[in-house]
Structure 1
Amino acid sequence: MTVRAASRVPQEERTRAMRARLMDATVELLVERGFSGTTTTLVSERAGVSRGAQLHHFPTKNDLVVAAVAHLTERRGEELAAAATRLPDGNQRTRAVIQMLGDHFAGPVFTAALELWVAARTDDTLLEAVAPLEQLVGRETHKMTVQLLGADESQPGVRELIQATLDLVRGLGLANTLGDDTPRRRRILDHWAATLDTALHTDGGKK
C-alpha cells in the first residue's frame, strides 16, 4: 500500500462517520421538530460537524434530507430485521409478529419517515427521492411479513390479509403521533392477530 493510499483510508472513514452523524441528526430532528423545524444549522450542531463541512457535502436542506431518506430506509430495514430475530415460535408467533410490526410503525423511525411523506406531498424534489424508496420499503416489509407468518399468498385472500395487516399497523402508527396510544394499539393488534391466525389456518393460508 502506498503512503497516499494509506492516508486516504482514514480520511474516507472519517468522511463516512461524519455523514452518518449528519444522517442520524437529521432523523432525530425530523422526529423532534418536524420537517419545517429541521434546519441545516441545527443538524450540524446536533451532529457535532462544522457548518463548512456540512455545507461541503450537503449545500442545501433538500440535499441533506434527500440523503437522509436513503439513510432512513436502511435504518427501517435494519430495525425490522433485528426485531424479527427475537420473535418466538409456537402458537404465539402470529401475535408476536403483529405486535412487532405495531411497535415499529409507532416508533421514531416511522415518525421521521412520516414527516418526509407529508413534506414530499408539496415538494417535487423530495417526492422524487421519497416515492421509490417508500415503494421499496413497502415491498420488503410485505415480503418479510409473509415470511414471518409463514403465509401462502397463492391461497385466495391471503395477500389481501397481509396488506390489510400492514395498512392497520401504519394507521395505528399515525394515530400514535398525536399521543401515546400503546394500550389501545395493543388491544386492537391482539384482536387482529387472533383473527389473522384463524383466517390463515382455516383458509389454508399457512404453510
Structure 2
Amino acid sequence: MVTPHEPKQDRSRATRQRLLEATIDCLAEFGWAAATVAVVAERAGVSRGAAQHHFPTREDLITAALEYMFDVRNGQATEEAASLAATSGVARTEAVVSGLVESYTSPLFKAALQVWTHAAADPALSQRIVPLEAKFGRVSHRRAVEALGVDDSDPVAHHLVQATLDLARGLGLADVLTDDSVRRKLIVQQWAATLHTALHG
C-alpha cells in the first residue's frame, strides 16, 4: 500500500505497477472488451486521469502490460531454473517440459491470448505486438535450451525445443475453455520421455 510519505517517484512506480497488474487481471478474467482504461483504472484504485498520465492510450497500456507479463514470466523462469539444479536425467527434462506447459495455462497466458486475438484483426495493434512476441519467442526458446542443456546449433535439437514450446502453447489453448489438467499431465510425461531420448539418447 502506498503511503503519503513515499517519494513521488516511488508512488508513480507503484501506480504504474497496479495499473499493469489490473490490466492483466481484466484481460484474463473478462476479456478484451472489458479491459478498457476506465475499468482498469477503477480496478487499480486510481483515477482515469492518473491512468492516462501513465498510459495515454489503451494501446500504450496493453503493450506495457504485455512487456510486464514478459518480465514476470522471466522472473518465474529464473526461479524454475534455480530449482532444477539438483535434478538430472529424464526427471529434469520432465520438470522443464512441465514448467513450460504450466506457464501457458497461467492467467498471464490467458491475458496475452486476448491481446493476440484482438491484434489479429487490428493492424495498428498488430504492428506493436508482433515485434514484442518475436522477442519473447526468442528469449523463451533460449531459456528452454539452457534448461534442457542442449546444443541449439544442432538443427534437430533446435527444432525439438521449438516443438516443445509449440506443444506447450497448444496445451495452454486446450485449457482455456475446460480443465484439461489430467490429459495434459499424461501428455507431458510421454513427451518428456520421448524428448529426453531424442536429445540425449
- TM-score where L is the length of structure 1: 0.88
Q: Is the 8 A contact 1:94 1:197 kept in 2?
A: yes
Q: Is the 8 A contact 1:39 1:61 kept in 2?
A: yes
Q: Secondary structure at the match of 1:43?
A: helix
> What is the Cα-based RMSD across aligned positions, in Å?
1.5
**Distance in structure 2 (CA, Å) of the matches to 1:139 and 1:107:** 20
Q: State which of 10, 17, 23 in structure 1 corresponds to 2:14.
A: 17
Q: CA deviation at 1:156?
A: 4.4
Q: CA deviation at 1:81?
A: 2.0
Q: CA deviation at 1:199?
A: 0.7
Q: 2:148 maps to what in 1?
A: 149
Q: State which of 49, 52, 71 in structure 2 corresponds to 1:52.
A: 49
Rg larger in structure: 1
Report matched runs for 1:1-207 at 5 Å.
10-87=7-84, 88-91=86-89, 92-202=91-201
Q: CA deviation at 1:22?
A: 0.3
Q: Secondary structure at the match of 1:23?
A: helix
Give unpaired runs (5+ residues) of structure 1: 1-8, 203-207
- Quote the sequence identity (%): 46
Q: CA deviation at 1:89?
A: 1.4
Q: Is the 8 A contact 1:35 1:115 kept in 2?
A: yes
Q: Secondary structure at the match of 1:35?
A: coil
Q: Is the 8 A contact 1:73 1:133 kept in 2?
A: no
* AA partner of residue 18 (structure 2): R
Q: Relative to 1, partners in 2 of residues 1:42 and 1:156: Cα closer, same or farther, differing over 3 Å?
A: closer
Q: Relative to 1, partners in 2 of residues 1:51 and 1:185: Cα closer, same or farther, differing over 3 Å?
A: same
- Deviation string, structure 1 residues 11-67 (Cα, Å, up to 9, x no partner): 111111101100000001000011112122211111011122112332332232122
* AA partner of residue 180 (structure 2): D
Q: CA deviation at 1:123?
A: 1.5
- TM-score where L is the length of structure 2: 0.91
Q: CA deviation at 1:157?
A: 1.1
**Distance in structure 2 (CA, Å) of the matches to 1:12 and 1:23:** 17
**Distance in structure 2 (CA, Å) of the matches to 1:139 and 1:59:** 29
Q: Relative to 1, partners in 2 of residues 1:72 and 1:125: Cα closer, same or farther, differing over 3 Å?
A: farther
The runs of at least 4 aligned residues of structure 1 exceeding 3 Å deviation read none
* AA partner of residue 89 (structure 1): T
Q: 1:6 maps to what in 2?
A: none
* AA partner of residue 80 (structure 1): A
